[in-house]
A and B are shown apart, each in its own frame.
Chain A
Amino acid sequence: MTQKNTAPTAAGVSSRGLKRRLRLGERVIEGWILLAGLLAIVVLLGIIFILLKEGLPIFTHTPPWEFLFGTKWYPVSDPPTFGIAPFFVSTLMITLISTAIAVPIGVACAAYLAEVAPAKVRETVKPIIEILAGIPSVMMGFIGLALLSPFVQSLFNLPTGLCGLTAAIMLSMMSLPIIVSVSEDAMQAVPHEFKEASYALGATKWETIWHVCIPAALSGIAAAIMLGVGRAIGETMTVLMVAGGALAVPASPTDPMTTMTAAIASGIGNAVRGGPQYQALFAVGLILFILTLAVNIIAERVLERQKRKFAR
């Protein structure tokens, strides 16, 4: 079939010409792929460059030490002070709490879907969970405002339900789908022989999940957790809507907070381009960038170690 199709064209073109044309096509495609690859790197370098260019000058106004650990963020007073400790602490607190909620639930849900649930349940539930990941964060903010915050307020007897805890719970719900989906894939990929061997040794279902499936799927689960943490750190709209927006360093999770992302989003519209507040917000972005980079590098290291431990 293929021979029949190519034969007439091949006969019409001299073998030399055909060869050259193929090589040219090859070059074009190679160049195209190279360009696409370079583009990703260029964009990343561009982001770093802009963050540095716009953000670093603030350190001539406020020394880095004061900027990081200062507790007062008064960008419009005279003279303005830029201390991002409230945002930094808020981001850490909300991220930690949301991870602490999302990881056990997510991994347990994944283990249920991968190991316990009948095929029919899995095939219905998993797509539904994946749809959850696509809900716009503004809508999650609505849900947090309307449903969760009154509940949190009455549960802890707070002056307002808009606080770090509400934001953390909403974020945990937002990072759940990705944690469940990716770790369920990882557990599904654990070779059947391992599970069979475990059952044949008299291990129960729970023991098999805990001692065989989860350890063998650990690198995938860790990747899932990192994706979830990444979502929690970077999420802006929901926390802007439900975290409360206070500018003080939070003392407890039930305090109103402003995360680094929310601070940037709410402040950048009012900042004079090139002014100190503008620079300070870019510096916040820079620190956020370093934070996510650090999370990624640590995750990479942990995975590397796990891989060596379970190496074939």
Chain B
Amino acid sequence: MTAATEKHLDEELRDVLQELSNVAMGRAADLLARLLENYVILPIPVVNLLERAELNMALSSLEEVKSVSAVCQGFVGSRIAGEALIIFNDTSFNDIAELTNFAGEITPQIELELLMDIANILIGACLKGLAEQLDVSFSQGQPVLLGQHLSLRDLVTDQAGNWQRALTIEIPYRLEGRNVDCDLLLLFTEDSLKVLEAKIEYMME
């Protein structure tokens, strides 16, 4: 397999990454469901190899959304590096506040706290789940606020980081019966892809 030099992702590699993500996102969803006491609808994770200019394609589920808030957190370990982004549709915060029994006025500061709390849970659990299955370990950097009340276009243009091509895994979480949309996007550097390939080949033996 030489996916790192090819434009398209090897089908077997894509299948395995999708399945590993499926298990990892399930664990993260379980924690979120317990926190909010609400069933989380699990999607099929979307795995892609994207050029920087195509990043908006990895966020297709938020295409129609007018205003978003986002947090990113870097991770590195076992020669794999990347960034995790949590992108919230801003209309989600009313329902999240209600589910966490928050009764006051929802100020940008409160939104930020809710955003950080949920980002911590989803990113932490998802990375841990992936790492365990791949038998690697990641250390996570500090979460950084990318912005509040941005358009998705501004978010993608301003904050896409210093990379040309990346392996992307998009996991759109939805809460059943609630108006909560949030996307977890994992970006892996091109160099990480070779390491992931080797790990996965080993797992398949």
- Does B associate with A? no
Query: A-side interface residues toward B, CB under 8 Å?
Result: none
Chain B contact residues, CB within 8 Å of chain A: none
